[in-house]
Chains A and B, each alone.
Chain A
Amino acid sequence: MKKPVLKIDKLSKSFGAIKANDNLNLNLFRNEIHALIGPNGSGKSTLVKQISGFLKQDSGQIYLEEIDISNCSAEHRSRMGIARSFQISSVINSFKVIDNLRLSLMGRDGGYLNPLNNIYRNKDYSDEAFDLLNIVDLTNKANDLVSTLSHGDKRKLEISLALSMKPKLFLFDEPMAGLDKISSQLMIDLFKKLKVKAPILLIEHDMESVFALADRISVLDYGSLIASGNEKEIKSNSKVQEVYLGDEN
C-alpha cells in the first residue's frame, strides 16, 4: 500500500445548524492532483481551512505523512509543509512583489525573529525569489507594488508564495477563478509541473480544467463526500450528474 501524504479521517465541522463538513475521509498521494468539486456552499473551502489550520475541526483527524497535525497552529502547519492559496487572493498589497516572497522565505526558514537577518540584503533570498517569479512568469514585475497588479498577476504571485514554502503538498482553492483563457492555460501547465514536486488538492469549478488536470476527483455535496474516482467514473455517476454536473454541462 502506498502511504498518503495527507490523510483526512472522519473530519466534521458545523456552523450552527449547517454541517459544512460531515464525517469526511479523503487522502492525497504523491504525484497526484486530486480535484475536489461540488456546488457552492458544499464545504470545499471549509475543508481547506481545516487542513491548513485556519479553522479548528469539531472532530476528526488530519495526518501529514502519518503525523497527526490536527491540533497544530496554521503557521506551524505552513512550516511543516502545507501550502495553500486563498479563494480570494490574499497577498500583502502594500509590499513589492519581491518583498512578498522575501517575507515567505524568511517565514519558511523560521528566521523572522532573528534581528540580524537582513532580508533585503540576503542574496540567497533574492536569487530564490527571482527563480520563483520566473516559474510563474512575473520577474518583470518583481519591483512593482502588489496593489498595482492585475487580478491574474496576484493569483500567480500567490502560487509562487505557496511554492516558496517548499511544501509537502499544495491546497489550491479555486486558483483559476476569474482568470482569462491564457492565464488559466498557464496555470494548468504549471500545475502539471508542480504535482511532481508535491501533490495538489485542487478545488476548481471549471470542469474543463478539472478534467485536464485531475488524476482523481472527489465530489462534495452538503458537506458529505458523494463520489470519488477518475474522470470516467465521475462523469457516469448518476448522483454527481444530479447535484453538480447536470446543470453545468
Chain B
Amino acid sequence: MMSEKKLNFLILLFLLLVPLFSMLLNDIYITTLFSKIIILAIAGIGLNLILGYGGMVSFGHAAFFGLGGYVTGILAFHFNNYEPIQILVFEFEGTNQLLFIWIFTLIFSSILALFIGYFSLRTTGVYFIMITLAFAQMLYYFSISWPTYGGEDGLSLSLRNQIPFLNTMDPITFFYICYVWLIITIILVKFILNSPLGISLKASKENEDRVRSVGINPKKVKLISFIISGAITGLAGSLYADLNRFVSPTILSWQMSGEIMILVILGGMFRLYGPILGAFFYIILEQFLGGITENWQFWLGFIILLEVLYAKAGIMSFLIKDKYDEKTSS
C-alpha cells in the first residue's frame, strides 16, 4: 500500500529499467514484450481519456489504432517500392522517416476521430457503443477487401522505419522510443485533465445540463476530447506497426477494440496510470495463461468478472491506499 504518486513513479522507474533486466537475464525478448506493453498502454491511456474521464464508451478504438498502423505501413510500403502514392494529380513517394510518419499518423487519426466523433456523439449509451463499433467494422472490412495493401494477408515491412542517428532495429532503442512516447502521452493527458477542457469533460460526464447552464458546450468538449483520444491511440498503432514490422486487418478488428478497452478496465479507469498496469497484466496473462491453456481468454474473462464485482477501480485500487471512488475525481 502506497500513495498513487509513489506507485506511478515506481511504474515508470520499473519500465525504465526493463532493458537492464532483459540484459541481466540474457533474454532480449523481454524488452520486445515490454515494448508491446507500453504501446498498448499508450493506446489505453488514449481511450481512457474519453472512457474513464469522459464516460464515452468507445468500442471502436481499433479504428484509430489500425489507421495509425496502416498509415505507417503504407507510407513505408511506397517508400520501399519506389511506387509513389497517387492522389489525383499529386504524387508522394512515401517515407520511412518516423518523425514524418508520426505526424501523418496524428493528422490522419485526428481527422478520422473528428469524423467518427461527430456522428457518434449525437448518440449516447448503447447507441454510442454500437456506432463506434460500426465505424471500426467498416474500416476493418475495407482493409480486408483492398488488395493493394495485402488485403487479409496484411502488409510486411522489411525494416523498421527510421529516425536519424538511431538504430530502430535494435530492440532496446525501439523500447526507449516507445518509452519516450509513453512519457509524452502521460504529460499531455495529465495537462489536459487539469486544463479547462479536461475539467469541462469531467463535469460533462456527470451532468451535461449543469455544464450547459454555465455556458459550456458539452458536445464540443466531448468531440475535442474524442479527437485527442483517437490521435493518441493512432500513434500507438503506428508504433505497433513498427514493432511488429507488419500490419494486418487484425489491428482494425473489434477484438482489438475490446482488448484496449479490457486493459483499461483491468488496470483501473479514472486513473492516469491504470492502463499501464492493465496492459502489463493483460500481456502477462496472455503469455502465461496462453502457455498453459488454449482457453486463456476464458480465465481472463473470469478475472475481469471478479474485478467488476469486487474492485471496480481496477488493479490500481489494490496497490494504493487513498481509496478511490468515482465521486472524488476532481
Q: A residues bordering B, Cβ < 8 Å?
A: 52, 54, 73-76, 78-79, 83-84, 86, 90-96, 99, 102-104, 106-108, 110-115, 117-120, 145, 147, 161, 164-165
Q: Which of B191, B214, B328 contacts A94 (CB 8 A)?
A: B328
Residue of A94, A96, A106, A165 with highest tally of chain B CB at under 10 A: A94
Contact between B215 and A108, CB atoms less than 8 A apart? yes
Are B214 and A78 touching (Cβ within 8 A)? yes
Interface residues of B, CB < 8 Å — how many? 30
Q: B214 is contacted by which of A73, A86, A165 (Cβ under 8 Å)?
A: A165
Given contacts A91-B207, A92-B207, contact A78 B199 (CB under 8 A): no
CA distance A73 to B211 in the complex (A): 13
Distance between Cα atoms of A201 and B270 in the complex (Å) = 40
CB proximity of B103 to chain A, nearest CB, Å = 20
Residues A86 and B217 in contact in the complex (CB < 8 Å), given A95-B330, A99-B199, A113-B196: no
Bound state CA distance, A52 and B214, in angstroms? 11
* A54, A92, A120, A165: the one within 8 Å of B215 (CB): A165
Q: Which residues of chain A are near B215, meaning CB under 8 Å?
A: 75-76, 78-79, 104, 107-108, 110, 165
* Closest-CB distance, A103 to chain B (whole angstroms): 6
Q: Which residues of A contact B326 (CB under 8 A)?
A: 94
The residue that B194 contacts in the complex, of A73, A78, A103, A120, with Cβ under 8 A, is A120
Within the complex, which residue of B214, B220, B327 is in contact with A103, where a contact is CB–CB below 8 Å? B214
**Is A145 within 8 A of B224, CB to CB?**
no
Q: Which residues of A contact B328 (CB under 8 A)?
A: 94, 145
Assuming the contacts A75-B217, A107-B211, asked whether A92 and B203 have C-beta atoms less than 8 A apart, the reply is yes
Name the interface residues of B203-245: CB closer than 8 Å to any CB of A.
Answer: 203, 206-207, 209-218, 220-221, 224
Nearest CB in chain B: distance from A49 CB, A: 10
Question: Within the assembled complex, what's the spacing in Å between the Cα atoms of A84 and B212?
Answer: 11
Chain A residue numbers with a CB within 8 Å of B210 are 86, 90-92, 161
Interface residue from B191, B202, B214 paired with A104 (Cβ < 8 Å):
B214
Q: Is B200 on the interface with A (CB-CB < 8 A)?
A: yes
Contact A112/B216 with A86-B209, A92-B207 known, Cβ cut-off 8 Å: yes
In the bound complex, how far is the Cα of B216 from the Cα of A76, in angstroms? Answer: 8
Contacts of A99 in B (CB 8 A): 199, 330
Residues of B whose CB lies within 8 Å of any CB of A are 191-192, 194-197, 199-200, 202-203, 206-207, 209-218, 220-221, 224, 326-330
User: Are the CB atoms of B329 and A94 closer together than 8 Å?
Assistant: yes
* Residue of B192, B206, B213, B224 touching A74 (CB-CB under 8 A): B213
Residues of A within 8 Å of B195, CB to CB, are 115, 117-118
Which of B200, B211, B213, B224 interacts with A52 by CB under 8 Å?
A: B213
| Residues of chain B contacted by A90 (CB below 8 angstroms) | 207, 209-210, 213
Check if A92 sits within 8 Å of B206, measured CB to CB.
yes
Q: List 26 A-B contacts (CB under 8 A).
A: A52-B213, A73-B212, A75-B215, A75-B216, A75-B217, A78-B213, A91-B210, A94-B328, A94-B329, A94-B330, A95-B202, A102-B199, A103-B200, A103-B216, A104-B214, A108-B215, A111-B196, A112-B197, A113-B220, A114-B196, A115-B197, A117-B195, A118-B195, A119-B196, A145-B328, A145-B330
